[in-house]
Structure 1
Amino acid sequence: MKNKIIIVSIALITIGGLVSLYFYQKIFGTAVITEGKVYIKSTDNIDDVTRSLTPYINSVDNFLWVANQKKYTNPKGGMYVLKKGMNTNELVNLLRSGNQTPIKVTFNNQDTLEKLAGRISNQIEADSISLIQSFKDATFLQQNNFTEKSALGMYIPNQYELYWNTSAESFRNRMLKEYNRFWNNSRMEKAKQLGLNKTQVLALASIVQKETAKKDERPLVAGLYLNRLKSNWPLQADPTVIYSIKEKYGQDTVIKRVLNKDLTIDSPYNTYKNIGLPPTLIGMPDVSAIDAVLSPAKHNYYYMCASIENIGYHEFAKSLAQHNRNAVKYQRWITQQGIKR
C-alpha cells in the first residue's frame, strides 16, 4: 500500500509538473519568431488582430488563450513593433497597453490639399477623404483665418513624429500647432521688415519654390522678386501663369512651355497682368524657400532667364537689353529641344 501511494504521488507530481510546464510555455514561451510591425486599425476586433499577427508568431492558439486570460478583447489601434523572441505574455501586454511606437510622417511640395491628403493617407490610418474634409472644414478655416485657397500654407513641409492611428482632425490640428511654432518671433520680425504678412511671404515663397531647382539660388530669386515688388513692377513669374491655366482647364493640364498667348489669361494669379503678389500661394513651398524670402540676397537684378550653360540655374540681368539677349538664347535652345507645350 505504501509503495502504491508513493507511485501515485510521483505520478501526480509528474503530471502536475507537465501541466505546469505546458501552461508556462503557453504564457512565457517564445511567441514572436519574426521581427515586424503590426498595424491595428481603430475598428479592428480580436480576429483582425490575430490575422495581422499570424505571419509573426508561432502559435495563434497560445496568443488567443493568453489574450482571453488577460481579458484582451478590445484592441487599441496603432503601430506596434514586434521584437523577435517576445513571449506571449509580453506580446499581449504590449497590445493591451496601447503602447504603440510613433511613426515618421513626411511631406513636401504638394500643390493642392487633395494631393496632400493623398500623401498623408499613405502614411497614417486616416483615409484621404476624411483628411480632405478636415482640411477644408469651413469652421476650422474661419476660426484660423484661412480659406480653401490659402490653407495649403498651413502645412509646413517637414518630418513629423505621429502615431499611426492619428485621426484626420488630430493631424490637421497638429499641423496648425507646427505652423504657429514655425512662425516664431524671428520670422515674424523679418516679414515685418519686408512689409509682408505670412500669407504674402508664403505666396512669394511658393513662386520662388517653383522657379528654382537649386536651393542655393533661392535667396537670389527671392531678392529679384522683392526688387520688382518695391519698384511696383509686375512679377512676371511663369509659375503663376501655369497655376492660372490649371485653375481654368484642370490640374491635370500638362504645360511644358509657357507661350506668349498664355500671358494674357484672365486670373488674379497671373502676375503678368496683375501687379503685386498673387492672392495666395500657388503651391507648397518648403522651408528653404520661405526662409529665402525672409532672408533674401541683396542685389540689383530685375530679370532672370533659365540658363542653358548651367542647367538648373538662371542667368540674371539688371537691364532689359541684357535680359533680352539671355531670353533669345534660351528660346532658341528650347525650340531646338522640340518643346512646344
Structure 2
Amino acid sequence: MKENLRQVRERVGEGGGKGVRMAGSGSERVAVELCKGINGLDKVVLRGPRGSSAEVYLYGGHVTSWRNDNGEELLFVSSKAIFKPPKAIRGGIPICFPQFGSHGSLEQHGFARNKFWSIDSDPPPFPTNSKSFIDLILKPSEEDMQKWPHSYEFRLRVALGPGGDLMLTSRVRNTNADGKPFTFAFAYHTYFSVSDISEVRVEGLETLDYLDNLQNKERFTEQGDALTFESEVDKIYLSTPTKIAILDHEKKRTFVLRKDGIPDAVVWNPWDKKAKTMADFGDDEYMHMLCVEAAAVEKPITLKPGEEWKGRLELSAVPSSYCSGQLDPQKVLQSS
C-alpha cells in the first residue's frame, strides 16, 4: 500500500517530480518536497510564498512543525519525542482515530497515529488557493481489522495557506462490504508552543459544559472568565463554537482555531507531576505547551456503508494587542 520514494517524487507537484516551485529571492523554492526526517522516516515539507512552512510525517499522518513567515515554530514537539514506530510522536498534531482516550480494546487514541500513511493518488476534488498541500490516505491493514473489524478510507489533506495558515481536512468513508455501520471518535490532538503556560489564556469556551477527565468525566459548567492555567487540566468542552482563541501574553501572539464538523474541544496540560511520569516528555516542558484539540468525543460519529464524514481545522497565528492590561482577541474571534 505504501508507495516508494521514487513513485511519490514522480507524482507530487509538477516538473518531473521536482515539486511545485515558486519564485524566491534569487532562486526557486520548492512548495512541496518529500524528504527524509528523523530516523530516516519519510516526511513532506510544505513551504509558503512568504517563508512559512509545515512538516508532515507519513508515519501517523503527523504534522510535526508549523512555522510562520519569520521562521518561528508554532507547534510544540517534546525534546524527548520518540520518532520510532510503533511509538506515537509526542507533540505536533497527532490524529486520534477511531478512538479517543484509553477506553475500549484499542491502544490509547486509536491506531491512526501509529500507522504509516500513503500519498493519496486519487484525492477528492475540492478547491484550494494554495500550492503547498499534500494528500494522504490510510486504509486498514489485516492487523487493524482484527482489532477493529471495519473497512474504511481515511483521507487527510494538510495545506499551508498563502498567508501561512495551516489547514487540515479529514474525510472518513465507510467502505464496509457487509452493510454494517461503524462508529468512531476523532481528534486533532494539537500541541501549541507557548512562552509560559501561566501567561496563557483561552477564550471562546466560557460558560460551556465540559467533562472533567480528572474527575471521572463528571459534567461541569465553565465559569464566565477566560481559561487560565495553574494546575493539571484535562477537559472535554461540549458543543463548542467554531472559533477558539489562545492568547500568549508574553509573545503577544494569538492562535485562532477555526473548525467545521468537529463539535467538541479538548484542553490538556499534564503539569509537573504527570510530566515526570512520561518517558517521552521533559519534566519542565509542560510550561511551554498547551493542547487545545478540535474533537468529536461526547457523541461519536456513525457512518453507514458509503457515507462519509468531513472534519476541518484551520489554524492561524496573529499578533495580539494590549487592551486594559490584557490581550484582546475579540476582533480576531469576530473576524471572518
TM-score over 0.5 for the pair = no
Question: Larger radius of gyration, structure 1 or 2?
Answer: 1
Q: Normalising TM by the smaller chain, what interval?
A: under 0.3
Normalization by structure 2: what TM-score? Answer: 0.25
Normalization by structure 1: what TM-score? Answer: 0.25
